[in-house]
Structure 1
């Protein structure tokens, strides 16, 4: 047990050194409670066209199917709240997409953390995950003591809010495990539910993904439905409405990761600039950005829908 405590302490110290804001550890087990929730969510069709969420049902619920002999899930959070935001007369991007693609930034840091663990502890096998594989990241973060899931389904941390990425390391190493976060500090607040213009946030701490502005502007490849015309409140890629109104986000502080800073041209662009954007400017401003996911024509489609 003493060794497990030492290892856990070492890992957390290195995680903080690499810039992660929080680090919690939980035992790699089957997520029993999540199984029925996920099944019900999928049966109701809340995934919309995101059919990849229907795949690997068992793997989503059991990390031991992702990593042989998995013993521990290390959950990490990384702040992305920007120091400066877009001007008011602009079509809006979700704040996470201001800078370089977070998948690459965090994967690189997780690689460093894995190397550190192997150098300090010995032969440890595992896999790193950044929102790109069948891992129930919010469930693991809560189980690892990082925070609670708000009514908008996002993980919220006391005195920090919710503007952070989540990442995981699943290892075949036994560690000291943190206490799950049990208390929900949302209380009777319904600000996120009330503010969502497409009524995507359901009263049971879940989101109907097929009605979320982020889904429409990023995931949906077909024509945008007329039923949501006029409801996007100028969001052209992703949406932060439910986070912007959350009282816990008054505690958000600017991140210190240079790679997450926006391209200098981005913050200066107004609605007219966006409406006249060329493919050349798109490639320049979003060279390493997650916005490339929607492609130039996808962004143009979204902007046209907002006009």
Structure 2
């Protein structure tokens, strides 16, 4: 059994690398006992804000065997999205999270996982399971941490040694045995840069209050922004990268090689005035396959108004 599990793990990792995944880690599909009290506390303290879906399927978030019958293995995959230097918006533009520069990662990663899945079937025989890209009740960072790809930092992001945190995470939950990896240690040390830099005080060590996070306000919150909100957005109108940008480990970030993550040149040339005057037609043309389309133009206009209102 051990020899088969070891061989399966080697094959999975080899094929994952061939298909562009930067790292692949393997865990035994089991109940996430250590995560249960943390998730329960986070939900009880209403840190999920209006993201009601986070409170759904509590048991499934903690046990992948409830998602896939006969599950034996969780395969964690990460894909780099750090943009090359030339792919930077104008300095006088509003700010958009780096993950949204190009094509929606759900589309890109799912396509790559499907090819990986087909190759696994060809090499290892018929496998039963499911693929997940931030689209189901899976605690993806917990599984990536357990598999030793990285550790979960004080900003609650997965941090990969000498690589940083600008990576998408995806999972395969399969009924195939594969030799699990083990976790690595936490290398945050005494650093508190992410906590100190967050303008909305959303971060306490290893916990992010989603209801205070700029990404939550600019993407997830569909209603009007709270009247009492008086913290600066620092011109972010879709997502926020502050806690990642200040993380010392991201000094090691290397540019991605994925053409589908390259932004349209027109997007990089947008000034603040262009964003404010954007028509519905231009918005749809620019962001048809982008994660930015989630907010619709009305959401972007709301975020711009709020960002301007909260400038010092």
TM-score range, shorter chain: over 0.9
Q: Partner of 1:53 in structure 2?
A: 54
1:229 and 1:306 in contact (8 A); partners too: no
Q: Partner of 2:190 in structure 1?
A: 188
CA shift, 1:229, in A, is 4.0
Distance in 2 separating the partners of 1:214 and 1:142? 23
2:199 and 2:231 in contact (8 A); partners too: no
Q: Partner of 1:17 in structure 2?
A: 18
Distance in 1 separating the partners of 2:104 and 2:235? 22
Q: Partner of 1:199 in structure 2?
A: 201
Q: Partner of 1:255 in structure 2?
A: 256
1:158 maps onto 2:158 in alignment: no
Distance in 2 separating the partners of 1:38 and 1:231? 28
CA shift, 1:88, in A, is 1.3
1:121 maps onto 2:134 in alignment: no
In structure 2, list runs of 5 or more residues that go unmatched. Answer: none
In structure 1, list runs of 5 or more residues that go unmatched. Answer: none
1:85 pairs, out of 85, 88, 99, with 88
Distance in 1 separating the partners of 2:255 and 2:43? 36
Pick which of 39-48 and 111-120 moved more: 111-120
CA shift, 1:112, in A, is 1.1
CA shift, 1:3, in A, is 2.0
1:98 pairs, out of 101, 122, 131, with 101
Residue 128 of structure 1 aligns to a residue whose secondary structure is strand
1:198 and 1:211 in contact (8 A); partners too: yes
CA deviation map 1:189-241 (0-9, x unaligned): 000000000000013x0100000000000011111123334510000000000
Q: Partner of 2:76 in structure 1?
A: 75
Q: Partner of 1:300 in structure 2?
A: 301
CA deviation map 1:258-292 (0-9, x unaligned): 00011110111111111111111111110100111
Distance in 2 separating the partners of 1:89 and 1:228? 24
Residue 228 of structure 1 aligns to a residue whose secondary structure is coil
2:137 pairs, out of 124, 128, 134, with 134
Residue 74 of structure 1 aligns to a residue whose secondary structure is strand
Q: Partner of 1:8 in structure 2?
A: 9
Q: Partner of 2:290 in structure 1?
A: 289
Distance in 2 separating the partners of 1:295 and 1:233? 21
1:246 maps onto 2:247 in alignment: yes
Distance in 2 separating the partners of 1:253 and 1:123? 36
Residue 13 of structure 2 aligns to a residue whose secondary structure is helix
Q: Partner of 2:150 in structure 1?
A: 147
Distance in 1 separating the partners of 2:250 and 2:279? 35
Equivalences for 1:259-274 in 2 at 5 Å?
Answer: 259-274=260-275
CA shift, 1:304, in A, is 1.6
CA shift, 1:117, in A, is 1.2
CA shift, 1:299, in A, is 0.8
Structure 1 residues 230 and 27, CA gap change in structure 2 (3 angstroms): closer
